[in-house]
Amino acid sequence: MSLNDWKRILVFGAHVDDEIIGPGGTIARLSQAGAEVHLVTFTGGAQDTGYARTDLKDKIADLRRAEAAACDKVLGIKERIFLGRPSQGVVNDTATYQECVRLIRQIKPDVIFSHWYEDKHRDHRAIAEITDEARWKAWDHVLADLGAPYYTAEFYFYEILELFPHPTILVDITATMDKKLAAMQTMTSQLDVLPNVMDYIRGVGLARGFSRGTKYAEAFLRSNLLATPL
């Protein structure tokens, strides 16, 4: 399959804004082309740690939900599902793993995007492990109460804090970089948490674009956990 064949997209992210910093330009490009983008955010709620000032501690959950809704409009995300796991506390337990299996079977994506195993953030690493394996288990003929078996043909990791030494694909986001930056601007509570993040997004986009031969690009690494059946 190629980018033009992706009609239903499933993105897994730890925190509100990971979908922007990582695949935000690709999400905007796909949604503009008519694809349905479904997003699963693992954290978000009373145990959110994404505040840079103590006076925001009791407000951060509501702030992040509002920022998420604004981001979804900018990027064209059709549906965002919050799992309500604690920030800095996502673990590969049975309930979380099986919920990901259920969601894959329910949404039936053409492609899945998720965090990478080698990221610094503990939540990101946990989610990479959970979702990569859940893609396989969603295809297995078990757990019938979670839906019929479904095979997702493609699964890609995206970059947040660590960059791939050898990415599998580079997606041109020159036409949607403005959407990616505008989506990040909706994250008002995070601009102090992530100082210079706008420059970081531009810089990575320019570096990946240089490798691709376009102004901006995003890099993805294909999972090798499953072989593609032909």
36-60 pLDDT, tens digit per residue, is 999 999 998 657 777 878 877 778 7
Pairing assessment for the beta strands 8-13 and 154-158 based on DSSP bridges: unpaired
55-66 pLDDT, tens digit per residue, is 777 787 888 899
Q: DSSP string of 41-54? A: EEE-STT----SSG
Superfamily in which the 3-222 domain is placed by CATH: LmbE-like (3.40.50.10320)
Residue 9 bridge partners (DSSP): 37, 111
Distance CA 166, CA 135 (A): 23
What are the structure tokens assigned to 167, written together?
Answer: 């990415």
Kindly report the average pLDDT of the chain as a whole number: 94
Distance CA 209, CA 214 (A): 5
Could you tell me the mean pLDDT of each successive run of 10 residues in the chain, 230 residues long?
Answer: 90 97 98 98 81 79 92 98 95 98 98 97 98 97 97 97 96 98 95 93 98 98 81
**Backbone φ, ψ for residue 171 (5° rounding):** -100, 125
pTM for the structure as a whole: 0.96
Q: DSSP string of 186-208? A: T-GGGTTTSTTHHHHHHHHHHHH
Tokens 């505008």, located at residue: 182
